[in-house]
């Protein structure tokens, strides 16, 4: 596992890419230089051949017949060959060697000793060349120059040079280049390692600090070591850490506030997910329901609220909440509850569950009943003296009574009933 991770690391890939770039560049350059060097050496041989033959061809063109002047031509060849390392041949139009720097080849067929293809091309008036290998394994370069007179080819001047030194030079140059390339690649790997390290060490530092942050430690800070992209990354990491730390502090503060509100609010609150499982219950709700946290977490909405009434079952309430909140009053165990329902959404605007707010209105309901009874009793108590006052007043108004004693009696009753009403009003004021 470690080996695989090491080989797949960015440090290894940077070193490998750097190595391959240098290797490919040096290989291309090396092949180009080797080819150019070989072409240059061959061109030197070719130029040397041409320089040697120029004078000999001119002198040979003066002879009417090469065969009749064999001795003169051989003498010329011998004099030229003294200063040459190349082999020189003069071939007549029958491909017979009539003169040579090596007398052993005279009067032998050139087709047997020399390359046939260049001899044929030479007889057609073409200067041609051909690389070959002797029977002894020596590499040679052959070049043929036609001897022309009056537009007719009457013979050929052939040169053959040993090019072993060229191939030795090529081999030696190739070996030197390979040694140089090996040293260069070794230096490349070492430099690549340090270059990659200068890149990967800050990245590894950021990775380690990010891993610690993922475990909740936000005190990490990355050192900014440069003003390049890596340094910019470190700066952005530190800025991100500060903002994230600040954001989490705000979230934690809001969470604490929310927990304090939920804990101290008088209303009971339940949060239910889309499956009807209770995911949150505050202290007031647990007190109203007479349950502990562990008990509520093990039960569903229908087992707690749905048991109040069939109308409060989860599916029915959730369906009725689609267009907005829902308000119900339910009674259970001698207690009366005002229950409000509403849905809440997730960050994508999808239905995430339902909020249930419970308010125990049992005492309020009792007080309202007492108020109704009190109002009814007060109304009855007020109605009696009012009726008495009304009847005696109508009697005095509608009847002619001359008896002052009777009138006084009626007025006394009216006064007593008025006092009674006044006492009732004072009692009401005291109660209020």
The domains of the chain are located at 1-60+166-199, 67-162, 265-360, 366-431
Give residue-wise pLDDT tens across range 74-116: 777 777 666 667 788 888 888 888 888 888 888 888 888 888 8
Q: Would the pTM count as exceeding 0.85?
A: no
Quote the pLDDT of residue 24: 93
Interatomic CA distance for residues 341 and 324, integer angstroms: 9
Pairing state between β 351-360 and 268-273: antiparallel
Angle subtended by helix axes 10-60 and 70-81, to nearest 10:
140
Which of 164-168, 274-278, 355-359, 420-424 has the weakest average pLDDT? 420-424
Please state, for a pLDDT cut of 90, what percent of the chain lies above it.
4
pLDDT(258) > 60: yes
pLDDT band at 2 (very low <50, low <70, confident <90, very high): very low
Segment holding 167, helix H or strand E: helix 164-214
Interatomic CA distance for residues 269 and 259, integer angstroms: 12
pLDDT(350) > 50: yes
b/e string for 157-195 if b means 16 or more Cβ within 10 A?
bbbbbebeebeeebeeeeeebeeebeeebeebeeebeee
| pLDDT mean over 209-224 | 78
CATH of domain 265-360: 3.30.450.20
Q: What is the dihedral of CA 65, 67, 71, 75, to 10 degrees?
A: 70
Give residue-wise pLDDT tens across range 313-332: 888 888 877 767 787 887 77
| pLDDT mean over 180-204 | 86
pLDDT(423) > 60: yes
Q: In terms of CATH architecture, what is 67-162?
A: 2-Layer Sandwich (3.30)
CATH of domain 366-431: 1.10.287.130
Interatomic CA distance for residues 147 and 67, integer angstroms: 13
**Which residue's structure tokens are 């797949």?**
8
Quote the pLDDT of residue 175: 92
- The overall average pLDDT reported for the chain is 80
Which of 66-70, 154-158, 194-198, 255-259 has the weakest average pLDDT? 66-70
Give residue-wise pLDDT tens across range 368-399: 777 777 777 777 777 777 787 777 787 777 77
- Side-chain half-sphere of 72: how many Cα atoms within 13 Å? 12
CB 188 within 8 A of CB 22: yes
Q: Do the first three CATH levels of 67-162 and 366-431 match, i.e. the same topology?
A: no
Quote the pLDDT of residue 320: 79
| pLDDT mean over 5-22 | 79
CB 59 within 8 A of CB 69: no
pLDDT(163) > 60: yes
Please state, for a pLDDT cut of 70, what percent of the chain lies above it.
92
pLDDT band at 120 (very low <50, low <70, confident <90, very high): confident
Within 10 Å of residue 281's Cβ, how many Cβ atoms?
25
| pLDDT mean over 295-321 | 80
Which stretches of 138-260 are assigned E, i.e. beta strand?
139-149, 152-162
Quote the pLDDT of residue 3: 46
């Amino acid at each position: 596992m470690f080996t695989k991770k090491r080989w797949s690391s960015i440090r290894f890939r940077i070193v490998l890419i750097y190595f391959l770039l240098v290797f490919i560049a040096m290989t291309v350059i090396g092949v180009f230089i080797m080819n150019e060097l070989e072409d240059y050496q061959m061109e030197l041989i070719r130029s040397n051949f041409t320089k040697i033959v120029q004078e000999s061809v001119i002198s040979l063109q003066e002879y009417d017949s090469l065969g009749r002047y064999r001795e003169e031509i051989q003498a010329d060849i011998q004099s030229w060959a003294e200063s040459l390392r190349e082999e020189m041949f003069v071939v007549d139009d029958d491909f017979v060697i009539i003169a040579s720097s090596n007398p052993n080849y005279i009067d032998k067929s050139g087709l047997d000793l020399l390359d046939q293809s260049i001899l044929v091309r030479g007889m057609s008036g073409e200067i041609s060349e051909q690389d070959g290998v002797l029977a002894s394994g020596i590499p040679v370069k052959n070049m043929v120059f036609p001897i022309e007179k009056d537009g007719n080819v009457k013979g050929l001047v052939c040169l053959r040079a040993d090019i072993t030194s060229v191939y030795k030079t090529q081999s030696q140059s190739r070996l030197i280049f390979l040694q140089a390339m090996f040293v260069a690649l070794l230096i490349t790997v070492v430099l690549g390692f340090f270059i990659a390290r200068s890149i990967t060490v800050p990245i590894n530092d950021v990775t380690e600090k990010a891993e610690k942050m993922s475990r909740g430690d936000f005190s990490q800070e990355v050192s900014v070591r440069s003003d390049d992209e890596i340094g910019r990354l470190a700066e952005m990491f530190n800025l991100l850490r500060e903002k994230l730390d600040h954001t989490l502090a705000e979230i934690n503060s809001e969470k604490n506030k929310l927990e304090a509100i939920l804990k101290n609010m008088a209303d009971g609150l339940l949060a239910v997910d889309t499956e009807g499982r209770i995911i949150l219950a505050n202290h007031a709700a647990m007190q109203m329901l007479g349950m502990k946290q562990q008990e509520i977490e093990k039960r569903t909405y229908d087992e707690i609220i749905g048991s109040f009434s069939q109308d409060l079952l989860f599916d029915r309430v959730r369906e009725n909440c689609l267009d907005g909140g829902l308000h119900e009053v339910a009674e259970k165990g001698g207690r009366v509850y005002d229950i409000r329902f509403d849905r809440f959404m997730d960050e994508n605007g999808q239905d995430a569950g339902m909020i249930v707010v419970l308010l125990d209105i049992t005492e309020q309901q009792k007080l309202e009943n007492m108020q109704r009874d009190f109002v009814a009793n007060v109304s009855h108590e007020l109605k009696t003296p009012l009726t008495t006052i009304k009847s005696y007043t109508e009697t005095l108004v509608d009847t002619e009574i001359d008896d002052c004693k009777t009138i006084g009696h009626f007025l006394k009753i009216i006064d007593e009933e008025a006092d009674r009403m006044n006492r009732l009003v004072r009692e009401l004021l005291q109660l209020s």
